[in-house]
Structures are given as C-alpha cells and as structure tokens.
Chains A and B, each alone.
Chain A
Amino acid sequence: GAVVSQHPSRVICKSGTSVKIECRSLDFQATTMFWYRQFPKQSLMLMATSNEGSKATYEQGVEKDKFLINHASLTLSTLTVTSAHPEDSSFYICSARGHQSNQPQHFGDGTRLSIL
C-alpha cells in the first residue's frame, strides 16, 4: 500500500525556535499534499493544501508567514513552524495523494510538537 513518512515524530523545543517537519511519499508520486493540525480529542483541521511546484493554499485563519510550506518535488513537502510559541503545540499530520481527487489520502504518522 501507499506509504507516507513524516519526520520527526516528536519535537520538544523552546519558544522562539523554528521547527521543520518533513513529509515524504515513499512509493507513489504525491501531486498533492495536505497539512493538518489536531488538538486532543478533536477532529483534523486542514491547514493548507500544496501542489507540487506551486504555492500552497492556506485555509482561512492560518497564517502563511507563520506556517511555511514547500512542496518542491513529487515526493517531499515540508512545513516550517516559524518562531514557535506554546500555543503552536499540537499534533501535526501530513497526507499525500496522487493526481486524482477521488484517490484516498494517505497519512504520515504525525509530529507531536511541544513548545516550552
């Protein structure tokens, strides 16, 4: 089956640090990647959608200068949380999908970010 690798799985860092999270599709070409955020016992909240080679589309209320997304190749997208603060602490999950919108999204294992 389709495999998506997300790294790192856990980050603990000081306030003001920038954190980069990588999302890789290992066995298929991910035309589109998605970045989600999830708070405990709540549903997935879509932050942004990125297509390879173009700028990400951010959901309303998500600061694009705060959450930088790069999707430079068909197998890699990165999310950088810039100058992270305690309120940015959350579970961040990426997913990847092929070029057809009716294909399932395959999720990475998530990154638990804790800002002290």
Chain B
Amino acid sequence: GQNIDQPTEMTATEGAIVQINCTYQTSGFNGLFWYQQHAGEAPTFLSYNVLDGLEEKGRFSSFLSRSKGYSYLLLKELQMKDSASYLCAVGSVGANNLFFGTGTRLTVIP
C-alpha cells in the first residue's frame, strides 16, 4: 500500500524561507507532485519530481530523494498569500490515481 506523511501545520514569517517535508512509502514509485490549496478552493499544481534532485520554479523549489522516500517543498521570500495547504501526492506504477497526503497547513504571519 501507500503511506504519505507530512506535518499537519506550520507557521512562518513573511519574507522568510520555509521547508515542508513529505515522506512516502509506495511500491513502483512513479513521480511526486506538490499542490497548493487555498481554503475553499481547489488544488493548483506546483511541481513534479520523478528523478532525484532539486527542481526550481521561481520562489518555489521541490526536492526528491527516491532512495530515502523523501521530498520537500521550499518556499522562499514568503508572502501572506502563500498561506495555504500544501499537498504532497505520489504516483505509483500501475495505479491510475495519485495518493495524496493529508496536507500541511502553512500560516504566514507578518
């Protein structure tokens, strides 16, 4: 089966850097996705990692280590609008759907 763990809540200060971790266990790993979800809205796609290493996209970066079953999402120069839930989702070979973690609720404070 699949198991995905991420912290439930985090708080960080505007302008700072925050790292949201995700650990996973799955058979036939087929990529890891990060999504952002603001309260009352649907998730929006942020990043995709399938090979080890860092993928950078503006203020957001995502890292993957397949051997450790570990990923993180790094948010730089935090803005108030970054307050949202961040969902880690894992694909598995042979499975049509993604397996979502419970999400990390990030609160950015002034």
The reply to whether B96 and A101 contact each other, CB–CB distance below 8 Å, is yes
CA A111 to CA B102, docked complex, whole Å: 20
Instruction: Give how many A-B residue pairs fall within 8 Å (CB-CB).
Output: 50
Q: Give the contacts of B27-54 with A (CB-CB under 8 A).
A: 30-31, 33, 35, 40-45, 48, 50
CB-CB under 8 A for A93 and B91, given A101-B30, A102-B50: no
CA A43 to CA B35, docked complex, whole Å: 12
Flag whether A106 is at the interface (Cβ < 8 A).
Answer: yes
CA A6 to CA B31, docked complex, whole Å: 26
Contact with B along A48-70 (1 / 0, CB 8 A): 01010000010000000000000
User: Looking at A46, A102, A110, which has the most chain B CB atoms within 10 Å of its CB?
Assistant: A102
Interface size class of B (residues with CB under 8 A): 20 to 34
The reply to whether B41 and A104 contact each other, CB–CB distance below 8 Å, is no
The reply to whether A109 and B30 contact each other, CB–CB distance below 8 Å, is no
User: Looking at A6, A41, A43, A49, which has the most chain B CB atoms within 10 Å of its CB?
Assistant: A43
* Cβ–Cβ < 8 Å partners of A44 in chain B: 43, 87, 100
The reply to whether B96 and A49 contact each other, CB–CB distance below 8 Å, is yes
CA A88 to CA B22, docked complex, whole Å: 31
Interface residues of A, count at CB 8 A: 23
17 contacts between A and B (CB under 8 A): A34-B97, A42-B102, A43-B101, A44-B43, A44-B100, A46-B100, A51-B96, A57-B96, A91-B40, A102-B31, A102-B48, A102-B91, A105-B33, A105-B45, A107-B43, A109-B41, A112-B40
Q: Identify the A interface with B (CB < 8 A).
A: 6, 32, 34, 41-44, 46, 49, 51, 57, 91, 93, 101-102, 104-110, 112
Q: Identify the B interface with A (CB < 8 A).
A: 30-31, 33, 35, 40-45, 48, 50, 87, 91, 93, 95-98, 100-103, 105
